[in-house]
Amino acid sequence: MRRGVVGWLCPSLSRFRSPMTVRTRFAPSPTGYMHIGGMRTALFNWLWARHNNGTFILRIDDTDEERNMESALGPILQAFRWLDLTWDEGPEIGGPHGPYFQSQRKPLYAAAAERLLAEGKAYRDFETPEQIKADREAADKEKRPYINIRRSLELSPAEIERLVAEGKPSVVRFLVPRDRTIAIDDAVRGHVEWNGALIPDPVIVRTNGVPLYNFASVVDDVAMEITHVIRSEEHLTNTAVQALIFEALGASFPVFAHLPYVAAPASKEKLSKRKLDQYRKNPSFKKMFDRGDSVFPKIGLGGQGGLDPVMVEYYEKIGYLPDAIVNALARLGWSLDDHTEIMSRQTIIENFTLDRVVKNPAGLDPDKLFSFQSHWMSALPAAMKDDGCIPYLVKAGLIALQADGTVAPDVRLFVGKVVAALGDRLKLFSDILDASYFFTETLEYDEKNFQKRVAKEGVPALMREFRARLAETEDWSPTNLEAVLNAFATEKNEPAATFIHALRLCVTGQSVGPGVYDCAALVGKDRSLARIDAALARLG
């Protein structure tokens, strides 16, 4: 079934296949955040649609509760916008198969349920929850698989009518054929089949008239002419029932493709928001949490800002690049070949096929994600780096916007110089905050290294002299500063490193960063001298 073997073994088949365009969908429920694993599933749907010049649909699964949609759906749509995964039909833009909110499609589900009822493919079940529970327990006790006893099936039409008239609560159940097997040919898992005799009759419409996911989803997939149902593996078991519903509705199957779920780093367990506390202890995940702890408070998001690495929003807020996330997500459970890792969006679209989806779960690897980020950041044009960093500096109060909300040209120019000096050291946009010393006189000193490099025997005296030499220096360019420092070191018969390290600590407060001459040049002569004074003053 893999590699589209069927297609070329039976070329005649393709003549009967309508030239229907590929239509995929992602159907999130409005939970208030976008799960990174869900995003991977959405991405694969999007990729498959784009690869085939097809249509990608966003459909909102809000059958369950109609809470404040605005705040619950907003972050999800934002995640799609941020990653630039455009949808062709769905919220905000509509489309020919709308509405795209399940809460607005209730008449469609009701009609479909009525039809199944009328055709005897579903039945009204008056069984009480207590009775069902008792049946289940009895089955458990006898160690036999539970399936519905279907007492309500004995009822005559007249009795059913009476019970409904009396207002007796009931649900609609799909009547699972127990005399056959159900089989699908999954695009990633191959042939999978189930024994109908083992499947309980699923509720398709609740007592309150609201349809259930399994049912609504199929009704919508049929109505929206979905050709490929690409979703996470945890739905594989559901597929038996859904396939049956497709049949009952007189529709042909879409192609099913069950992706392995995204697992927690270095594990085979599904990545879950409920296990966040556990993840904090995970060494590779810990780095991400730590980064959030350090960055979010600085940009006005208290603590973790309600964000964590399970959410797509976390990566946006901490300054990842959409291309890096897309690249990393695409490589999670899919590969192009035996060596290609770095892929542009276009490359991925061109090469993405379902038959190269891996079958076993893939653990999210924060290290690898970060390495993709490093690559894409280094490939980003300078002006775009500046654009990405500026919001962080603004939010952290390190630069101010003008009254019209724009950045003053000289500020922008300076930011550009800092970003250039940082070079490859800037991996995330938020990394600009590690270079706050270019923007404020309130330095944070790395005490340990300050003691080691500045407060060391003999160094303060040398630095006082060096400070005087610097004060006489007119040409404050990095090259000249280097020449001055080297000459002075030779004069004093000291290694240049003594002055290099001490100067860095004095001017930036830190022991790491861009070249020390670049730092001094960026800080400027007056401020550099003042900082040396301040540092020496700290020695008391």
Partner RNA sequence: GGCCCCAUCGUCUAGUCAGGCCUAGGACACCGGAUUUUCGAUCCGAUAACCGGGGUUCGAAUCCCCGUGGGGUCACCA
Query: From the list 92, 367, 444, 465, which residue makes contact with RNA (rule: CB under 7 A)?
Result: 367
| The one catalytic residue among 270, 273, 359, 452 | 273
Asked if 335 touches RNA (CB under 7 A), the answer is yes
Residue of 527, 522, 520 lying closest to 499 (CA atoms): 520
Q: Which residues ranging from 16 to 45 are in contact with RNA (CB under 7 A)?
A: 27, 29
> Residue 360 or residue 493: which is nearer to RNA going by CB?
360
Q: Which of residues 267-286 bind RNA (CB under 7 A)?
A: 268-270
Binding flag, residue 497, RNA (CB under 7 A): yes
Residue 46 burial by CB count (10 A; 0-12/13-18/19+): exposed, middle or buried? buried
**Site for RNA (CB under 7 A): which residue of 143, 274, 281, 448?**
143
Task: Give the Cβ contact number of residue 51 at 10 Å.
Answer: 16
What one-character-per-residue DSSP string does 382-434 give?
HHHHHHHHHHHHHHTTSS---TTSSPPHHHHHHHHHHHHHHGGG--SGGGGGG
- Find the binder of RNA among 80, 517, 531, 535 (CB under 7 A): 517
Cβ 21 to RNA, closest distance in Å? 25
Nearer to RNA, 146 or 488 (CB): 146
Tokens representing 434 are 């590690």
**Closest CB 358 distance from RNA, rounded Å:** 4
How far apart are CB 334 and RNA at their closest, in Å? 7
For residue 394, CA distances in Å to 78, 387, 409 come to 21, 11, 15
Q: Which of 48, 514, 522, 532 binds RNA (CB under 7 A)?
A: 514
Scanning 82-90, 112-120, 261-269, 456-464 for contacts with RNA by CB under 7 A, the matching segment is: 261-269
> Site residues for RNA, window 72-91 (CB under 7 A)?
none
Question: Do 142 and 134 contact (CB within 8 A), yes or no?
Answer: no
| Cα–Cα distance measured from residue 471 to residue 466, given in angstroms and rounded to the nearest whole number | 9
Beta carbons within 8 Å of 104's beta carbon, 6+ residues apart: none
Q: Binding of RNA at residue 7 (CB under 7 A)? A: no
Alpha-carbon distance of 383 to 431, in angstroms, equals: 16
Q: Which residues, 108 to 137, sit near RNA by CB under 7 A?
A: 128-129, 132, 136
According to CB under 7 A, which one of 360, 410, 493, 537 is a site residue for RNA? 360
Provide the minimum distance between the beta carbon of 233 and RNA in the complex, in angstroms, as a whole number: 6
Strand bridging mode 362-363 / 228-232: unpaired
Q: Which of 22, 358, 455, 530 binds RNA (CB under 7 A)?
A: 358
The C-alpha atoms of residue 329 and residue 84 are separated, in whole angstroms, by 14
Q: Of the candidates 196, 363, 391, 460, which one interacts with RNA according to CB under 7 A?
A: 363
Q: In this complex, which beta carbon is closest to RNA, that of residue 21 or of residue 378?
A: 378
Neighbours of 278 (CB within 10 A): 13
We find the least distance from the C-beta atom of residue 310 to RNA, in angstroms, to be 14
What is the Cα–Cα distance from 455 to 536, expressed in whole angstroms?
Answer: 9
Task: State the DSSP H helix or E strand holding residue 232, giving kind and residue range, or none if neither.
Answer: strand 228-232
- Interface residue with RNA among 26, 48, 101, 261 (CB under 7 A) is 261
By CB under 7 A, the residues from 221 to 260 that bind RNA are 233-238, 260
Cα separation, 522 vs 524, whole angstroms: 5
Residue 155 or residue 401: which is nearer to RNA going by CB?
155
Of 276, 282, 267, whose CA–CA distance to 310 is shortest?
276
Give the range of 73-81, 90-98, 325-333, 383-391 binding RNA by CB under 7 A: 325-333
- Helix (H/G/I), strand (E/B), else coil: 293: helix
Out of 25, 513, 522, 531, which residue is the one contacting RNA (CB under 7 A)?
A: 513
Residues 195-214 that bind RNA (CB under 7 A): 195, 198, 200, 203, 206-208, 210, 212-214
410-429: which residues touch RNA (CB under 7 A)? 423-425
Active site residue 286: no
351 is a site residue for RNA (CB under 7 A):
no
Which of 7, 94, 120, 145 is the binder for RNA (CB under 7 A)? 145
520 vs 510: CA distance, rounded Å: 13
Q: Which residues are annotated as catalytic?
A: 273
